[in-house]
Amino acid sequence: MNSAIQAIKNILNIISSYADDKQSFNREEEKAASTMMTKLDEFTELLSQCQREVCITFLLSTPISATKEEVKQFRHSMKESLLVLGLTQAANYMEISDSDLTSQDLVDMKRIGIVLEQLYKKNQKEAGDRIEKRFQSLEELGVHYDAEELDSLTIPEIPESLKLLIKHEDCVFEKTIGRGQSGTVYLGHFKDSDDNIAIKVLSKQTLSQADVESYRREVYFLTILSHPSLTKFCGYTEDAPFYICTEFMSGGSLYHKLRNNPEQLNPTTRSLIALTVARGLEYLHSKGVIHRDLKSLNVLLDDNNNAKICDFGMVRTRDSRPMTGMIGTVHWMAPEVLMSTPFYDERVDVYSFGIFLWELLTGQMPYKDMQANQIIRTVTELGERPPIPEDCPQHLAKLITKCWSQDPEDRPTMAKVVAELQDSKYHLAGTDEAEFALKAGIVSCHKTSLSLPYIRKETPKPRPKSRESQVISPDRAMQCMHGPPSDSRKEALMYSLQMCGDQVTLYNFLDLGFTKALSLILTEQSEDSETVMTYLLTCREPKVFDIEVLKALLLYTSSKSDVFRNKALSVLLSASLLRFEFLKSAPSFVQQLLQFIYLPMPPQSSAALLQLANRLIRSISNAPTGLWEVLLWARLNLPQMLTPLVLPCMIGAVKFVEVRNDIKSDNYKELSQTFNANIMLFKEILKYDDTFEKLIPALMSCSKSNDICLKFIIENSKENSLFAYSVVQNLPFNFDVSKIVAVYKNLFLHDTKKISQIQEFYSVIEYLMVNNDIKYACEILKTVRIEESLFVNTKLPKLLSEAFYNSDDLLCTSLMLIYYNCLQRFRVEEFVNLDQIFLSILFGKRTELRKPAFLCVISAAEYISDFDYSAIHPVAAFYVHSSSEIIGNSAAKFISEKTKVCDDYDIDKTLEVFIENYKAPSKNVIVACDCFVEICKQKKVKDQSLLQKLSQMYNMLHSY
């Protein structure tokens, strides 16, 4: 709904301007304008149902799918009306792709699911059934809330080497230091240590599903993330009550320090806190992680006011799945989160950091006098932010403004923020720059300051320089770097990397062959190689990442060193963002990049790799060889948590015919084993009919044990003729007939020729008749060629003959056509035994049934040796003139075969009927006339005038 509301806001000015300029409307335009007003009124009413007091009642009484469809129809109707009015630009705002609509809906559905879950937890018995129905509705829309998950807790998969499991008895509690909605925080220590720790205890009985997911995230990310700017993780428990133990930060939260003891935070300390938190966020983003809840409450201080980021319950990795809206605290929340935008990225943290900087600057609570709904309107609609003090340093004010830009594209990266916060121009007024440089660990190099926080610990202490090194020049440095490993080369490398912190100097080094030297060192996979990669991690100059450097980094896909391999991947991920336009023109890069996936790596690295691969696959113009192979391996072997990132890559890849040709039948079988998780991939594959030959057998086999797959076949066999034909080619299903009836009903819409050659077809028809769907079954049977060997061994002959006794005229007609089709080719005893009933209908009052009865009589008579044909001859003489081909042909055949061999019929009456009902010449009439002329030579005709008329008819017919 938020997306639709935003679209309405976008078109208001366009419509207003149009109305002012428009002098008059024609009838069609008036109708369109009226339709728009009606739809807006309906949408307003729908919105009113989703407001505060009535929202719960609305959720419990209204199918979610109906609401979703109503919003979709609103968009469509508005678009059509706007197009009629000639407002194409406005109409475009109302248009939304199926994928974007599904993503936006998924965000809304998740939020609805959370509300329903909370109601469920409150045990409101009177609403229990309705809540269950809404959960079922969410399931149908692809949002899953497993009831078992509400009562169980599973820690995410954590590498064994990183697990920090503890027992409850290991913890000693001292005092309570904080309380929250999901638990309590205590000061304590481990039994075997006197070091203070913070112990967060979550009560199992009060955990909601959201709390469970928060706990999972926090444990997982605390385990795998490690940085000086993040709180250190000490351990967790697997059993209730659940404990999370972290280092104790004695200074408390920055939020409380700013409000209770602001005098303890001088400008230098505040500038250092800003840089420290920025470095922490830069580290998270480099790992593909988004914090989503950065605020002063989640920044803790030690005794010396050193800051660390805490609370990882809201953390998410960057991926292609729609995010949940309204995650975090509204005061620090980015506009795209407030508007429940399905896809956002780490730039929401940059926005929060802008608010955080404002807090450090002012010491105040942002939007302190506003309610949550007021903040949302102020941020999203008015685009207003907290006022920046006039005495704020100009560059710092500019940085804050950039960070909280309305458009995420205008916000800087955290790497850029870190670089600027190291510059004195961006510090708070009054900062002691010497103290700041010392505590921030900024390295001086000539006239350039370069912060290398990630390699500072790894850089050996400088040795006394030789005379040669003291006068080293760029040219000399490049010569050394192109040479074999040595102390001189190492010194030249460190010199070059430090010098290249300045952009002008970097360009000079690039002209001297800097990237060639880097690529040569990278191919060695040595200690110097790691130094180069450390530099590249902080480099933001695209020219450094030329083709040679990228190739050298790709060699690490098979490196035996986890450290080297993971660092090379991190560099490539960073480089890809800088060289994306170039990489779009090199399809082989994505396939080579994906080779990293074959060896173990941290989950966040895998996530970032797959996200980049997805973006590249959707941008390249042709598929590299081997792309499907690596993606399939990833889908079948990577942890399930990465499935939502692998699938978009596969979905994007199948647009290439080369990829579709690479998919083997066994691949489809493997993927169908987890059909439910892969359904979006199968939907995409179905867009290409060149996949059906190998795909359909796998789906049909899967449908035996998977009802969702069977439903998938049912839906597509109705809408897609080529799909239906392919299913027919692969029949039978060979399982419970009751389950496949719906498929067969759809197949009947497309093809009934080959289908009647399969035994299962007759089992389905039999099932329909037994379950009182006789008319439908007969409508199908009368259109197919019934196979004797398959038909007579079923109960159908008996069921069809019994149905005749209690049928209306329409059903009787269908049944008799079935009898006739069978009896024309083979004997069916049950049908032959109905001969007297056929005769009674033939000469009865139900005139509309006489024709099919005639067909059945002459067909059944063939199997009855003593059948009395005397009454049939005049009937055949009458029907030979029929305009119905089947009736006329059957009558002519009867006359030519029976009139000559039968003696006991009235020839005068037969001739009289034949002559009196003549209408026009036809092949059948000529056959009958010739027969009667021959018979009259043998039989005596009492009425001579009939002979004369017959002779005249004969001459006339043969004159044509």
Q: Binding site: which residues?
A: 200
Residues 153/242, Cβ–Cβ less than 8 Å: yes
Q: Provide CB contacts within 8 A for 157, sequence distance 6+.
A: 603, 639, 641
Which residues of 418-546 form beta strands (DSSP E)?
443-445, 448-450
Handedness of CA 701, 702, 707, 712 (dihedral sign): negative
Task: Collect contacts of 866-869 with beta carbons under 8 A, ≥24 apart.
Answer: 867/835, 868/904, 869/898, 869/902, 869/904, 869/905
Q: Provide CB contacts within 8 A for 696, sequence distance 6+.
A: 723, 726, 727, 729, 730
CA distance 687 to 678: 15
CA distance 130 to 279: 48
CA distance 151 to 117: 12
End-to-end CA distance of the chain: 76
Residues 621/636, Cβ–Cβ less than 8 Å: no
Q: Which two tokens stand for residue 210?
A: 């959201």
Q: Is 655 helix (H, G, I), strand (E, B) or coil?
A: coil
Residues 617/590, Cβ–Cβ less than 8 Å: yes
Which residues have a catalytic role annotated?
293
With CA atoms as reference, report the closest residue to 662 among 627, 687, 637, 698: 627
Residues 502/448, Cβ–Cβ less than 8 Å: yes
Residues 240/169, Cβ–Cβ less than 8 Å: no
- Tell me which amino acid residue 443 is: V
Which residues of 504-618 form beta strands (DSSP E)?
none
Total residues found in the chain within this entry: 960
CA angle 461, 481, 507 (to 5 degrees): 100
- The interaxial angle of helices 692-702 and 707-719, nearest 10 deg, is 140
**Torsion angle defined by CA atoms of residues 598, 601, 604 and 610, in that order, rounded to the nearest 10 degrees:** -20
Residue 669 phi, psi dihedral angles, 5° rounding: -65, -45
Q: Provide CB contacts within 8 A for 51, sequence distance 6+.
A: none
CA distance 607 to 714: 35
Residue numbering of the annotated binding site for ATP: 200
- Residue by residue, DSSP assigns 809-839 as HHHHHHHHHHHHHHHTTS--HHHHTTHHHHH
Q: Which helix (H) or strand (E) holds 2?
A: helix 2-21
CA distance 393 to 426: 7
Classify residue 173 as left (phi > 0), alpha (psi -120 to 50) or beta. Answer: beta
SS3 content of the chain, % helix, strand, coil (to 5): 65, 5, 30
With CA atoms as reference, report the closest residue to 198 among 241, 232, 238, 156: 232
DSSP 200: E
CA distance 113 to 107: 10
Q: Is 929 exposed, middle or buried (0-12, 13-18, 19+ CB in 10 A)?
A: buried
Q: Which two tokens stand for residue 495?
A: 């010199």
Residues 877/910, Cβ–Cβ less than 8 Å: yes
Residues 36/81, Cβ–Cβ less than 8 Å: yes
Q: Which two tokens stand for residue 324?
A: 């949940």
Q: Is 751 helix (H, G, I), strand (E, B) or coil?
A: coil
